[in-house]
């Protein structure tokens, strides 16, 4: 049996299914971004306690009286380095160990550096205490936080499942807040336009690569007398 390399025509069609997935992702992300920007003209200001009591119908929020504990945080790594941190958010004054309804996702360089230092110093008690003293202003923090609640295309089910499997006392319907994120109508319009453009060229290239149907055979007429 011979194995032949499939030849693809040049252009967008060479992307195959990937091109269509890119177009769908851009269209979905653009539409969701436009919806979020039009719906959330200003961030909803609400205390963490009130948000947990009854989650409002808003994606752009400023959570007031938030209490953060970096020692309870989880993180994602890339090439041995921390790329993203998920910090439990509780109402001000709530005790450690209570159920967590909100995780703050941050890539803040200072917080990342602090957590990496804490992890490196966890080998013995002396180093751990010295690291905690160096970063005491980042371990236990009470402040207002603002950002976008993840939903739709931004909600990564794999990440949620991995976080839920950790011993973080997460509520079944916990939410992830992207630290400092805000809706962007202009960016979403560009994304939507890019999806339309990619989809158009994919369909156009596919139409050109489809072989034309051969003409029907001429009827076999009897010879003239």
Greater confidence, 91 or 124? Answer: 91
- Residue 175 near residue 149, CB atoms below 8 Å: yes
pLDDT for 225 = 55
Over residues 132-143, the mean pLDDT reads 92
Cα gap 85→73, rounded to integer Å? 7
**59-63, 173-177, 181-185, 221-225: which range is least confident on average?**
221-225
Which of the four pLDDT bands, split at 50, 70 and 90, describes residue 215? low
Kind of pairing, strands 44-47 and 60-69?
A: parallel
Greater confidence, 204 or 222? Answer: 204
pLDDT for 219 = 62
Task: Please determine, for residue 71, whether its predicted confidence score (pLDDT) is greater than 70.
Answer: yes
pLDDT of 72-106, one tens digit each?
Answer: 999 998 877 899 999 999 999 887 778 999 999 99
Over residues 134-144, the mean pLDDT reads 92
pLDDT for 199 = 81
Kind of pairing, strands 60-69 and 81-91?
A: antiparallel
């Amino acid at each position: 049996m011979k194995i032949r390399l499939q030849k693809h025509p040049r252009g967008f069609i060479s992307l195959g299914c990937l091109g269509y997935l890119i177009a769908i992702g851009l269209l979905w992300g653009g539409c969701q971004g436009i919806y979020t920007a039009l719906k959330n003209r200003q961030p909803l200001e609400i205390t963490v306690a009130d948000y947990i009591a009854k989650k409002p119908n808003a994606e752009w929020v400023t959570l007031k009286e938030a209490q953060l504990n970096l020692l309870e945080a989880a993180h994602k790594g890339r090439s041995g380095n921390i790329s993203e941190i998920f910090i439990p958010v509780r109402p001000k004054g709530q005790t450690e160990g209570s159920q967590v309804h909100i995780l703050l996702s941050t890539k803040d360089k200072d917080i990342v550096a602090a957590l990496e230092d804490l992890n490196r110093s966890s080998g013995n008690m002396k180093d751990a205490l010295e690291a905690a003293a160096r970063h005491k202003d980042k371990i236990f923090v009470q402040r207002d936080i603002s950002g976008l609640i993840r939903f739709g295309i931004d909600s990564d089910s794999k990440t949620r499942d991995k976080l839920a499997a950790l011993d973080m006392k997460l509520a079944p319907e916990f939410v992830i807040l992207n630290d400092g994120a805000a809706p962007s109508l202009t960016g979403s319009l560009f994304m939507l336009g890019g999806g339309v453009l990619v989809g158009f060229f994919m369909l156009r290239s596919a139409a050109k690569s489809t072989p034309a149907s051969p003409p029907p055979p001429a009827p076999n007429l009897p010879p003239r007398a």
